[in-house]
């Protein structure tokens, strides 16, 4: 099986968040399983020189973006058995940030057209293209409606992963002709229309062979008006091809036994190092060195999505308890300002660090006791996985990936890997925090057990990769596959796939053949 991942970001080259981490990890893991994997990315200006220098220029051609004729260079880099193809165009990608420009629609229209045309130029024709988020979600539509005449592309199947449904790529219908060079039939018949715009993500949901998201709960939640951001209707319609797979965690980077960011490493069987990490953290943060006061930590983007309006509402209340509060992150300037203000009032209890610092983040995951993550919605979330791995118990809003990965403390059975609240209000968040503080201070043995439970959870990519492989095989083998790949497959794949086709998809596939 031959795969091509398409994404706007990918660690270690450039990333702004969890999407970059996933694209940095999953292809690498698949390559370990002898799958042929490539990743296609824009060549962003921020790519570190060390990687830039290793790239080999393999092709140049031009791409029509509507009436424009744009240069497209292809740089290739082989790393960890994955081939990375970078789409080079200075006009579109030589910018300080990855996103946030007035012409993002045009930039990612170019990227998608270029990556499709690239496959032929570099002779990498995958069996499956795995698209990620709206930046690449028009690819299945384009393969169907614009490039269907290219014979070698006709058997390519597509998987679209939604990492965050809030960002959809909504543009006026004129971009169909102006950027993609296609007619507006699919806008007028409603297929890719949302309100009076075209919507990249909706197009992806309708045209991709499979749609998945990064946790089971989020896959369910986005089919409701509370979380679907307007796309709940189309997701209900296409639910037969919608699934959820929880992201993994890079166990090599996030390992308390070997993390070079830590002064003292530690493990499940020897937790002494964690105490030293706590002491070091208190020193760095200028807080009193106290083993008995739980450190409640936050490492996050400071946004409404992450629930910081709740935290700000309760922070002063929380600081009345015998606790320390440590925050690392940047985001909404109003949030940054309010946190800083409160820390000035409570210098001995509260340390606010408005910055981005990867090493400090690891020190916080290791040195803290409680990790607060009250996201309003959370497709998967990574920080709760890291904190559990470091024995720092998460307090989470039980939603999306947080619900699927953190088992809330059960005071009867004394089980769990963290604490949860299901109603998204400051009061319930505070109740969960109070429960955590109580167990930390008064039930030390139970706390230790919970730490051990958390640390022994398996959130490795190994497990998630197996689920992705099954997903790919469902569409690949259904459509023929290769004899050698077919040999060991259980018959269940074919049955599952047949049963879950939506009628609209059937129509699309029939047309394509
Ligand atoms: C987005 C989501 C986050 C998820 C990540 C990777 O950033 O907000 O929950 O973990 O994508 O899938």
Question: How does pLDDT run across 2-57, given as a tens digit for each residue?
Answer: 999 999 999 999 999 899 999 999 999 999 999 999 999 999 999 999 999 999 99
Nearest-angstrom CA–CA distance, 372 and 298: 6
Q: What one-character DSSP code corresponds to residue 331? A: B
Strand 68-79 and strand 56-65: the pairing is antiparallel
Question: What is the reported pLDDT for 483?
Answer: 53
Q: What one-character DSSP code corresponds to residue 406? A: -
Choose the weakest-confidence range: 74-78, 142-146, 483-487.
Answer: 483-487
Q: What is the pLDDT of residues 336-382, one digit of tens each?
A: 999 999 999 999 999 999 998 999 999 999 999 999 999 999 999 99
Q: What is the pLDDT of residues 233-268, one digit of tens each?
A: 999 999 999 999 999 998 888 999 999 999 999 999
**CA 61–ligand 1 middle distance (angstroms):** 34
**CA 453–ligand 1 middle distance (angstroms):** 24
Mean of all residue pLDDT scores within the chain: 93
**CA 400–ligand 1 middle distance (angstroms):** 10
- 90 exposure class (CB count in 10 Å sphere: 0-12, 13-18, 19+): exposed
8 A C-beta contact, residue 63 and residue 107: no
Predicted TM-score (pTM) of the model is: 0.91
Question: What is the reported pLDDT for 482?
Answer: 62
Strand 370-373 and strand 393-397: the pairing is parallel
Q: Tell me, which fold does domain 2-248+463-484 have in CATH?
A: Rossmann fold (3.40.50)
**CA 165–ligand 1 middle distance (angstroms):** 10
Atom of ligand 1 nearest to the CA of 378: 9
Please list the alpha-helical segments (H only) found in 173-330: 175-178, 185-188, 200-207, 216-221, 232-237, 272-285, 308-318
Q: How confident is the model at residue 481 (pLDDT cuts 50, 70, 90)?
A: low
**Closest CA to ligand 1's atom 12:** 163
Per-domain boundaries in the chain: 2-248+463-484, 272-458
Is 293's pLDDT higher than 60?
Answer: yes
**CA 345–ligand 1 middle distance (angstroms):** 34
Q: Please work out whether the CB of residue 247 comes within 6 Å of at least one atom of ligand 1.
A: yes
**Other beta carbons within 10 Å of 102:** 7
Is 334's pLDDT higher than 80?
Answer: yes
Question: What is the reported pLDDT for 511?
Answer: 44
**CA 194–ligand 1 middle distance (angstroms):** 24
**CA 19–ligand 1 middle distance (angstroms):** 6
% of the chain beyond a pLDDT of 90 = 91
Q: Tell me, which fold does domain 272-458 have in CATH?
A: Rossmann fold (3.40.50)
Question: What is the reported pLDDT for 477?
Answer: 76
Atom of ligand 1 nearest to the CA of 218: 9
Q: Please work out whether the CB of residue 19 comes within 6 Å of at least one atom of ligand 1.
A: yes
Backbone angles phi, psi at 128, to 5 degrees: -135, 135
Among the listed residues 376, 384, 482, the one whose alpha carbon sits nearest the alpha carbon of residue 126: 482
Atom of ligand 1 nearest to the CA of 379: 9
Among the listed residues 432, 299, 433, 305, the one whose alpha carbon sits nearest the alpha carbon of residue 365: 299
Mutate to test the pocket of ligand 1, among 5, 98, 380 (most ligand atoms within 8 A of CB): 380
Q: What is the pLDDT of residues 426-449, one digit of tens each?
A: 999 999 999 999 999 999 999 999
Shared fold status for 2-248+463-484 and 272-458: yes
């Amino acid at each position: 099986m031959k795969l091509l991942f398409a994404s706007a970001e990918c660690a270690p080259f450039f990333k702004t968040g969890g999407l970059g981490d996933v694209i940095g990890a999953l292809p690498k893991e698949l390559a370990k399983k002898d799958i042929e994997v490539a990743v296609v990315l824009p060549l962003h200006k921020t790519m570190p020189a060390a990687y830039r220098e290793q790239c080999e220029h393999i092709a140049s051609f031009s791409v029509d973006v509507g009436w424009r004729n744009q240069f497209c260079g292809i740089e290739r880099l082989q790393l960890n058995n994955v081939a990375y193809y970078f789409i080079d165009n200075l006009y579109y990608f030589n910018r300080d940030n990855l996103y946030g420009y007035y012409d993002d629609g045009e930039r990612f229209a170019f990227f998608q057209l270029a990556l499709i045309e690239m496959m032929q130029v570099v002779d990498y024709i995958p069996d499956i293209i795995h698209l990620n988020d709206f930046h690449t979600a028009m690819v299945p539509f384009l393969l169907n409606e614009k490039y269907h005449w290219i014979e070698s592309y006709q058997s390519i199947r597509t998987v679209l992963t939604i990492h965050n449904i809030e960002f959809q790529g909504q543009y006026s219908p004129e971009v169909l002709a102006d950027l993609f060079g296609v007619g507006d039939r699919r806008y007028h018949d409603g297929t890719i229309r949302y309100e009076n715009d075209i919507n990249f993500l909706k197009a992806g949901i309708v045209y991709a062979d499979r749609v998945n998201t990064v946790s089971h709960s989020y896959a369910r939640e986005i089919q409701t008006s509370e979380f679907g951001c307007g796309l709940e209707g189309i997701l209900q319609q296409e639910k037969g091809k919608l699934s959820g797979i929880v992201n993994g965690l890079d166990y090599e980077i996030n390992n308390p036994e070997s993390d070079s960011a830590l002064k003292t490493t530690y493990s499940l069987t020897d937790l002494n190092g964690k105490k030293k990490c706590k002491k070091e953290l208190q020193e760095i943060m200028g807080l009193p060195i106290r083993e008995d006061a739980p450190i409640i930590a936050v490492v996050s983007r400071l946004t409404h999505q992450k629930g910081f309006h709740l935290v700000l509402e309760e922070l002063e209340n929380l600081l009345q308890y015998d606790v320390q509060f440590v925050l690392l992150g940047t985001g909404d300037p109003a949030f940054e300002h309010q946190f800083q203000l409160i820390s000035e009032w409570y210098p001995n209890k509260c340390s606010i660090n408005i910055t981005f610092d990867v090493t400090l983040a690891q020190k916080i995951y290791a040195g803290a006791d409680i990790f607060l993550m009250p996201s309003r919605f959370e497709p998967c979330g990574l920080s709760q996985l890291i904190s559990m791995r470091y024995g720092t118990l998460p307090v989470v809003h039980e939603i999306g990936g947080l619900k699927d990965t953190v088992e809330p403390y059960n005071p009867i059975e004394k089980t769990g890997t963290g604490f949860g609240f299901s109603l998204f209000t400051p009061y319930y968040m505070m109740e969960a925090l109070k429960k955590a503080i109580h167990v930390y201070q008064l039930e030390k043995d139970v706390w230790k057990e919970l730490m051990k439970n958390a640390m022994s959870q398996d959130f490795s990519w190994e497990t998630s990769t197996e689920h992705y492989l099954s997903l790919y095989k469902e569409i690949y083998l259904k459509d023929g596959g290769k004899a050698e790949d077919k040999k060991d497959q259980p018959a269940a794949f074919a049955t599952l796939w047949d049963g879950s086709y939506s009628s609209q998809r059937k129509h699309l596939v029939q047309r394509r053949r």
